[in-house]
Amino acid sequence: MTLAACGVDFGTSNSTIGCRRPGQPLLLPLEDGRPTLPSVVFFNADDNTVSFGRAALADYLEGHEGRLMRSLKSLLGSGLMDGYTEVNGRALRFRELLEQFLRELKRRGEHATGSRFEHAVFGRPVHFVDDDEAADRLAEDTLREIGHAAGFRDIHFQYEPIAAAFAYEAGITREELVLVADIGGGTSDFSLVRLGPGRSGPDRREDILATAGVHVGGTDFDKYLSLSSAMPMLGYRSVMANGNEVPSSYYFNLATWHTINLAYTRKVWTELQDVRRDAREPDKIERLLRLVSQRDGHWLAMKMEEGKIALSQADESLLPLERLSPDTALRLQRPVFEQAVGELVDSVAGAVAALLQRSGIARDKVDTLYFTGGSSGVPLLRARIRALLPAARAVEGDLFGSIGAGLALDAGRRFS
């Protein structure tokens, strides 16, 4: 195998790997000919195998016994990173889990090209951790260590919105001042960048006018859609005989991808028996118990993601929830969703406003607002960002591939 440099977009929801090849697409086919590999691992207890991506989701939904892990990137910068989880009766370090996924991503990329990837540019959010520089550096260092363990010898990092800017730049013919809005699964990241066909050198520091990021992304929107619309069906905010609300921790864990498995412990099961006995609406707690006993928390989280996507296209959507009961369906309404995520949108819009103020650039001088990231289609969020730059032309990039393509271009320049 020949040596080659690659760009690695290890995403909260989806991952890509790419490299420059004459006359070939930058992004490599990773699963069923597609350039994205969902960041999912399933440990199948029935036959003691491990599957990744769409195959992992299919194995889980088919009802195989085992452990599904998703939103792996969210572990970086969290207190869970140095911990363990139980997988099919053994303790698995979360670092080892991320290493397994990155090693598989690398293997698939190398298989697609016949090259060996030792040099890589990894994407990273502007902030792994908000308002904590030491924790942010630790998260990057941790990802570098895991990348080395997965087989990448030389790793550089690039901000994800800068990588998306490089992908956009490859298709323009004149100089532009561009605000890149990258709304991913775990973070929202922004960069104000001067781009143009004559600015494609390896050192672009002078072209980067400002960056900003906030730890809010698509999985947060899924979470609050779940809490506002689905979890009340399971007893969220219902009350006990003593007038107190049912503890909210059960519902927050079930609504958050990387904590769903915490709802499946024996301790929680015992506590929920007591909750059902004392609940004023025991039928809702019974529904919760059924969901937990069947380990359908991940299925419900996927349904919430499906509902969020539907509300990006329509004001209402009827979401079947057949695993709760055959005739159960949830009517989702965009106004309810927008009210639930209002504070999240405020946080993201505030980060953009602060970036623009910090840059010292007049807002009417920004030529283009470039949207990328799978969650940039949320209408309220997009409208709030566009309102900050009413004179800019709005452009939508490849929502799932712009960052990976830009990282591949950056890798080609750095290691050429």
Residue ranges of domains in the chain, CATH in brackets: 2-174+399-414 (3.30.420.40), 219-340 (no CATH)
Instruction: Kindly state the average pLDDT of the residues 11-35.
Output: 95
* Residue 251 pLDDT > 90: yes
Taking only the tens place, the pLDDT of each residue in 388-408 is 999 999 999 998 999 999 999
Torsion angle of the four alpha carbons 319, 325, 327, 329, in this order, in degrees rounded to the nearest 10: -20
* Residue 355 pLDDT > 80: yes
The DSSP result for 51-110, as a single string, is: EEHHHHHHHHHTT-SEEEEE-GGGGTTSTTTT-EEEETTEEEEHHHHHHHHHHHHHHHHH
* Residue 380 pLDDT > 90: yes
- Please, which pLDDT band fits residue 1 given cuts at 50, 70 and 90? low
Taking only the tens place, the pLDDT of each residue in 184-237 is 999 999 999 999 987 766 667 889 999 999 999 999 999 999 999 999 999 999
* Residue 65 pLDDT > 90: no
Percent of the chain with pLDDT strictly greater than 90: 81
Average pLDDT, the chain: 93
Provide the phi-psi class of 114: left if phi over 0, else alpha when psi is between -120 and 50, else beta.
Answer: left
And the tokens for 200? 């494609």
* Residue 129 pLDDT > 90: no
**Mean pLDDT lowest for which of 48-57, 78-87, 199-208, 322-331?**
199-208
Taking only the tens place, the pLDDT of each residue in 156-193 is 999 999 999 999 999 999 999 999 999 999 999 999 99
* Residue 303 pLDDT > 90: yes
